[in-house]
Amino acid sequence: MPENVSMGRQLAHAYANRGKILFHTAIRFVLAGVVVLAGIRGNPLKGGPVNFLAGLLAACIALAALAWVFFPLIHCRDCLDFYETGITIGKRFWTLETLGNISFMDVRSNFSMFERTYMCTEARRFNVTYIKDAKKNYNRAYFNEI
């Protein structure tokens, strides 16, 4: 944050929704477990991989699956702080003038079971899916309504 910008007093704070993060991780874990069990049931293990490249490919697929399963955990430290002159998203301060008009958008993809929530501004679109009550705290901070 630049030293010449005063943040003013804090109006509201929105933190990570740990319940939602753990729920999404658990659903992904169960889904991956079902796929692995179906694969093992359909193709019983008969020893090691046929060659090195087959083992390497299996290891890469397993590593990608683990990254997909535990991806929501990186959002455990997400937070939004609403101040009189701007918003702190993560550790970066954005002034209200820089952000411009702010709106919230819920998006449901064809390839996802869950909705994503974005805070759309003129500067960029912020993913606030895993932040608890982001829109409610925004309205409480700047419009004194819920």
Pair of tokens at residue 97:
């003038």
Judge whether 101 lies within some domain. Answer: yes
pLDDT at site 5: 56
pLDDT tens digit string along 44-89? 677 766 788 877 888 899 899 999 999 999 999 999 999 999 999 9
Same-domain status, 82 and 138:
yes
Of 72, 97, 118, the residue at which a domain comes to its end is 72
Which pLDDT tens digit goes with each residue over 98-123? 999 999 999 988 887 889 999 999 99
Q: Which residue range(s) make up the domain with 114? A: 10-16+78-143
> What is the structure's pLDDT at 1?
47
Alpha carbons 109 and 116: distance in angstroms, whole number: 8
- Indicate the burial class of 89 (C-beta count within 10 angstroms; 0-12, 13-18, 19 or more): buried
Same-domain check for residues 87 and 139: yes
Structural domain tally of the chain? 2
CA 132/CA 40 separation, integer angstroms: 38
Residue 16 backbone class (left: φ over 0; alpha: ψ -120 to 50; beta: rest): beta
* 88 occurs within a structural domain: yes
pTM: 0.80
- With respect to residue 41, please indicate whether it lies within any of the assigned structural domains: yes
90 and 134 fall within a common domain: yes
